[in-house]
């Protein structure tokens, strides 16, 4: 009846996951009770959960990422403490638990923090930058978000019901095969990634189509803001790479569930085929994450330097070059496989070549700042911090791209330090820069600068205190994923790293404080102009937060790209023509399809993990029925009458108009 599920699935003998699970459960219940008692439920349901507005979906993605960042961060704290204390002792985490923690940490940070954060920012900003009213597929967009949330939910369920994978974040076979991992951990891992992977693919298709097919009049390709270009490149990679992940995990699941022999040691299975397939997805994946971050830095650096982006066309070229070359370097993740010197040399050189377009970008940002009137506000701090940090990470990456060096450093703490250096220094700093930069656009008030700067400095310093010791430990021969060790020389560095982790934690607390303080002081921080940073692209040409239809008039773009005079021109157009004649606007109606579909996907995923076959069928039928009901509805759009458009548009028009006339006089 319930497949493999029984009471032994709940780890009553392990206090840490139980307590953590209980805390999370109490937290969720408290929030739910507060929502219901305060009567916010109808509002949440109608305005957020069923929303197909790209801005709201973007905000929900970022919220999901932030919550999961806390979970993944807790895992990181536990690991750093374990390695600080587990010198010639077992520490406080038993091996099977420690292994689950590092696996969950990697899985969560990549799939449920970095991915939703960048997808959220792209969703929020790209349609605004393109000057359009919506994305290509609004309802599918909502489906994509909720499927991502389903994946996150399943990963967290594994905390209290059953276990998570103990195989590392990519579940390499043969360890992840049934004979070596008989529990449900790998199944939790694989099914949550399969479900959220569908969500990511949907988001990718949606954003590619949006950029390529939905641009406002005059928004030629070479006039698009840089963030739109990097979004395009990143989502092209999603569309091309995520199916590989889906296929690879499907093969692993077939091995586990039906006794197939893709990656087994027996009957001719080929373990290295898994490495090739998973990294053919995995390497593009890191560029999927970092390209949008590059786009954010391009926007931020040019805005806060008060200058147009230096070398716009070379930036476009560099972005698309990275997009293509990122598919030709996957083998550098396993030089030690023994593919031979020729193959290793080719992939080593390709890996070094990909550093060139990245270097071009760095110089472009530096030259953008050169001679500019730089304002050191929080988004700019994150951007400069990124440049410093990312160069170090990039250079250690070039080091690792040299096969002989890689043979020494493979799977060492040096590698761990390297990829944290590029992912934290690149993706996370980018996500934070974007968060600070576009928060006023999403909510209509700025974030508190003082707490923001504190958060930056603690995170920046904390990062180096944590990860420089890991580089050194790697050089001293320490391999990754060690539950305990006996080498005295590593110990001091592990302790320093734990101190760094504490500093990083203070950074996170500052970030939370920043949000709390800003919400409390929101009236003082209110921005009525829609353009708090003196921005350069179209998202700043509408009010903050933008109305549901984004723009009362379709912007007509005349100049090249996101330049200042383009913005001034676009604003003049919409604001100075007196009196504007408003028209009815058609918008897609909200739909619970995404939420209901994810509900059934959760049931199905859970049932698949625990082999509850009747429930699998139930979930599958439910998901199909949801789409049929959606396809059957008669009215998929509603009309906002011209009067209503006028009323909404006029609310803050004076503030916006004043700002434009001032800008015009400069």
Residues in contact with other proteins by CB under 8 A are 132, 136-137, 201, 204-206, 208-209, 212-223, 239-244, 246-248, 251, 254, 258-262, 264, 266-270, 273, 277, 313, 554, 557-561, 563, 565-566, 569, 624, 628, 631-632, 634, 636
* 151: nearest Cα among 106, 89, 196, 184: 196
Token match 């009362």: residue?
Answer: 552
Nearest CB to other proteins, comparing residues 251 and 612: 251
Other CB atoms closer than 10 Å to residue 284's CB: what's the count? Answer: 27
- DSSP class of residue 412 equals B
* 349: nearest Cα among 333, 335, 329: 329
Q: Torsions phi, psi of 412, nearest 5?
A: -100, 175
Angle between helices 429-443 and 449-475 (to 10 degrees): 160
Q: How far is the CB of 560 from other proteins (least distance, A)?
A: 4
Q: How far is the CB of 205 from other proteins (least distance, A)?
A: 5
* 622: nearest Cα among 22, 13, 3, 150: 150
Q: How far is the CB of 628 from other proteins (least distance, A)?
A: 6
Nearest CB to other proteins, comparing residues 278 and 362: 278
The CA distance from 367 to 172, in Å, is 43
Angle between helices 429-443 and 54-85 (to 10 degrees): 150
The CA distance from 285 to 470, in Å, is 24
* 234: nearest Cα among 330, 320, 148, 135: 320
Nearest CB to other proteins, comparing residues 27 and 664: 664
Other CB atoms closer than 10 Å to residue 614's CB: what's the count? Answer: 11
Q: How far is the CB of 280 from other proteins (least distance, A)?
A: 8
Q: How far is the CB of 249 from other proteins (least distance, A)?
A: 11
Establish how many alpha carbons lie within 13 A of residue 336's alpha carbon, considering only the half-sphere containing its beta carbon. 9
Nearest CB to other proteins, comparing residues 9 and 339: 339
Answer for the pair 101, 93: CB distance below 8 angstroms, yes or no: yes
Residues found in the chain: 666
How far apart are the two ends of the chain, measured CA to CA in Å?
74
Nearest CB to other proteins, comparing residues 100 and 626: 626
Residue 165 three-state SS: coil
* Close Cβ partners of 2 (under 8 Å, ≥ 6 residues apart): 610, 612
584 conformational bin, left if phi > 0, alpha if psi -120 to 50, beta if neither? beta
The CA distance from 341 to 352, in Å, is 16
The CA distance from 616 to 605, in Å, is 8
Answer for the pair 199, 146: CB distance below 8 angstroms, yes or no: yes
Nearest CB to other proteins, comparing residues 43 and 257: 257
Nearest CB to other proteins, comparing residues 239 and 353: 239
Nearest CB to other proteins, comparing residues 137 and 189: 137
Nearest CB to other proteins, comparing residues 15 and 340: 340
Q: How far is the CB of 235 from other proteins (least distance, A)?
A: 9
Answer for the pair 169, 99: CB distance below 8 angstroms, yes or no: no
Nearest CB to other proteins, comparing residues 270 and 314: 270
The CA distance from 588 to 52, in Å, is 7
Nearest CB to other proteins, comparing residues 636 and 655: 636
Q: How far is the CB of 659 from other proteins (least distance, A)?
A: 18
Q: How far is the CB of 598 from other proteins (least distance, A)?
A: 19
Burial class (CB in 10 A: 0-12, 13-18, 19+), 509: middle
Q: How far is the CB of 569 from other proteins (least distance, A)?
A: 6
Q: How far is the CB of 559 from other proteins (least distance, A)?
A: 4
Answer for the pair 113, 68: CB distance below 8 angstroms, yes or no: yes
Nearest CB to other proteins, comparing residues 483 and 537: 537
Nearest CB to other proteins, comparing residues 141 and 421: 141
Nearest CB to other proteins, comparing residues 46 and 217: 217
Nearest CB to other proteins, comparing residues 74 and 265: 265
Q: How far is the CB of 212 from other proteins (least distance, A)?
A: 7
Q: How far is the CB of 526 from other proteins (least distance, A)?
A: 31
Residue 354 three-state SS: coil
Q: How far is the CB of 624 from other proteins (least distance, A)?
A: 7
DSSP code string of 358-386: HHHHHHHHHHHHTTS-----HHHHHHHHH
Q: What angle do CA 151, 111, 538 make, to 5 degrees?
A: 110
Q: How far is the CB of 503 from other proteins (least distance, A)?
A: 42
Q: How far is the CB of 179 from other proteins (least distance, A)?
A: 13
The CA distance from 561 to 301, in Å, is 16
Token match 């905390």: residue?
Answer: 159
Cα Rg for the chain, rounded, in angstroms?
Answer: 25
Residues forming beta bridges with residue 587, ordered by sequence position? 638
The CA distance from 609 to 6, in Å, is 13
């Amino acid at each position: 009846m319930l497949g493999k599920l029984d009471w032994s699935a709940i780890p009553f003998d392990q206090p840490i996951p139980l307590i953590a699970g209980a805390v999370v459960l109490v937290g969720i219940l408290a929030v739910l009770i507060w929502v219901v008692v305060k009567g916010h439920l109808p509002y949440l349901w109608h305005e957020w959960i069923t929303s197909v507005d790209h801005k709201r979906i973007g905000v929900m993605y970022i919220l999901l990422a932030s919550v999961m960042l806390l979970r993944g961060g807790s895992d990181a704290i536990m690991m750093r403490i374990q390695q600080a204390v587990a010198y010639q002792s077992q520490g406080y985490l038993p091996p099977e638990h420690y292994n689950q923690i590092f696996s969950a940490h990697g899985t969560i940070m990549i799939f449920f923090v970095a991915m939703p954060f960048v997808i959220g920012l792209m969703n929020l900003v790209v349609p605004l930058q393109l000057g359009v009213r919506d994305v290509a597929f609004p309802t599918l967009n909502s489906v994509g978000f909720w499927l991502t949330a389903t994946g996150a939910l399943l990963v967290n369920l594994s905390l209290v019901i059953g276990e998570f994978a103990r195989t590392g974040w990519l579940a390499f076979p043969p360890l992840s095969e049934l004979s070596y991992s008989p529990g449900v951990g790998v199944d939790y891992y694989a099914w949550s990634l399969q479900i959220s992977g569908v969500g990511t693919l949907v988001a990718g298709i949606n954003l590619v189509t949006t950029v390529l097919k939905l641009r406002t009049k005059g928004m030629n390709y070479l006039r698009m803001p840089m963030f739109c270009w990097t979004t395009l490149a990143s989502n092209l990679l999603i569309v091309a790479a995520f199916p590989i992940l889906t296929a690879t995990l499907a093969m692993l699941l077939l091995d586990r569930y039906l006794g197939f022999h893709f990656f087994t040691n027996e009957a001719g299975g080929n373990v290295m085929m898994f490495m090739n397939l998973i990294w053919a997805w995995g390497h593009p994946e890191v560029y999927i994450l970092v390209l949008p971050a590059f786009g954010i830095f391009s926007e931020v650096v040019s805005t806060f330097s008060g200058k147009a982006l230096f070398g716009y066309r070379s930036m476009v070229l560099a972005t698309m070059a990275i997009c293509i070359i990122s598919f030709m370097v996957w083998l550098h993740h396993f030089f030690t496989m023994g593919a031979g010197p020729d193959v290793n040399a080719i992939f080593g050189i390709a890996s070094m070549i990909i550093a060139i377009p990245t270097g071009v970008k760095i110089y472009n940002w530096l030259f953008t700042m050169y001679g500019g009137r730089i304002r050191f506000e929080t988004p700019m701090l994150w951007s400069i911090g990124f440049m410093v940090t990312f160069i170090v990470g990039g250079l250690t990456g070039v080091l690792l791209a040299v096969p002989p060096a890689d043979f020494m450093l493979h799977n060492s703490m040096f590698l761990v330090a390297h990829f944290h250096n590029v992912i934290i220094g690149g993706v996370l700093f980018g996500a934070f820069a974007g968060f600070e930069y576009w928060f006023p656009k999403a909510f209509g008030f700025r974030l508190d600068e003082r707490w923001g700067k504190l958060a930056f400095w603690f995170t920046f310093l904390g990062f180096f205190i944590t990860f420089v010791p890991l580089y050194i430990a790697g050089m001293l021969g320490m391999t990754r994923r060690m539950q305990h060790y006996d080498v005295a020389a590593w110990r001091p560095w592990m302790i320093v790293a734990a101190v760094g982790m504490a500093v990083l934690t203070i950074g996170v607390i500052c970030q939370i404080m920043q949000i709390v303080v800003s919400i409390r002081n929101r009236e003082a921080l209110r921005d009525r102009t829609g353009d708090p940073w003196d921005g350069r692209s179209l998202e700043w040409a509408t009010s903050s937060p933008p109305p549901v239809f984004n723009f009362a008039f379709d912007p007509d773009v005349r100049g090249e790209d996101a330049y200042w005079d383009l913005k001034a021109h676009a604003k003049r157009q919409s604001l100075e023509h007196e009196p504007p004649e408003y028209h009815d606007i058609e918008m897609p109606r909200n739909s619970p399809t995404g939420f209901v579909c994810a509900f059934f996907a959760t049931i199905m995923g859970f049932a698949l993990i625990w082999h509850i076959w009747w429930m699998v069928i139930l979930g599958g039928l439910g998901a199909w029925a949801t789409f049929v009901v959606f396809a059957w509805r008669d009215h998929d759009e509603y009309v906002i009458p011209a009067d209503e458009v006028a009323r909404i548009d006029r609310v803050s028009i004076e503030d916006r108009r004043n700002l434009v006339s001032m800008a015009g006089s400069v």
